[in-house]
Amino acid sequence: MKLSPNRTSVFCVTLLLFVGVAVSDQPKTSQRQGGEKSYDRKEKQAKARAMKVQYLEIVTPDVNETCRALAEAHSVKFSDPVAELGNARTADLKDGGRIGVRAPMRDTEKPIVRPYVLVDNIEAAVKAAEKAGGQIAMPPMNLPGQGTFAIYILGGIEHGLWQL
């Protein structure tokens, strides 16, 4: 069967549209080195939401100076000391988390920056940290009106967990 040039063009365009629709309905992935897959933007955003720093704690003997420097650099305002957070002065982060700056609460506490990652189930997260070899420095503790936190040490690094 011989098709006219117009019918051939229509057939080709229809075929291309059909293939284009079929391809656009497929998940967007590409192969990277090592077999990893790169997902489309929506999937990356979903994964980014899955791990969020809820509270970034800075322990320093220079609380006011640190707050002043951060406030000026990032155009934020720090609160008065919050007793439930060890008298930390806090500022809101754009993603809904907070940053807190406080003085050491005991003579042996050294300056540190400690991120607290938001988790759905702090008990399960603590067990996972222990299973990975983490040493629990602070078991889950409820802070009235703030949430529940825990701290573990792994590889010489202090990690925080936070559940709302």
Over the stretch 14-48, which tens digit does the pLDDT of each residue have?
333 333 433 344 444 445 455 555 556 666 655 55
Instruction: Say yes or no: 101 and 148 in one domain.
Output: no
Instruction: Say yes or no: 125 and 108 in one domain.
Output: no
What average pLDDT score do residues 43-68 get?
85
- Tell me, what CATH number does 95's domain have? 3.10.180.10
How many CB atoms sit inside 10 A of residue 69's CB? 12
Average pLDDT of the chain is 82
Instruction: Say yes or no: 95 and 64 in one domain.
Output: yes
Instruction: Say yes or no: 54 and 99 in one domain.
Output: yes
Is 93 within the bounds of a domain?
Answer: yes
pTM: 0.69
Instruction: Say yes or no: 135 and 104 in one domain.
Output: no
Which residue segment(s) compose the domain that 108 sits in?
A: 47-113
Instruction: Say yes or no: 103 and 127 in one domain.
Output: no
Which residues, 6 or more positions from 146, have their beta carbon under 8 angstroms from its beta carbon?
84, 85
What average pLDDT score do residues 58-73 get?
98
Cα–Cα dist 90/58, whole Å: 10
Instruction: Say yes or no: 53 and 98 in one domain.
Output: yes
Is 32 within the bounds of a domain?
Answer: no
Question: β-strands 29-31, 53-59: how paired?
Answer: unpaired
Instruction: Say yes or no: 87 and 51 in one domain.
Output: yes
Number of domains in the chain: 2
> What's residue 21's pLDDT?
37
Instruction: Say yes or no: 109 and 125 in one domain.
Output: no
Instruction: Say yes or no: 57 and 108 in one domain.
Output: yes
> What's residue 57's pLDDT?
98
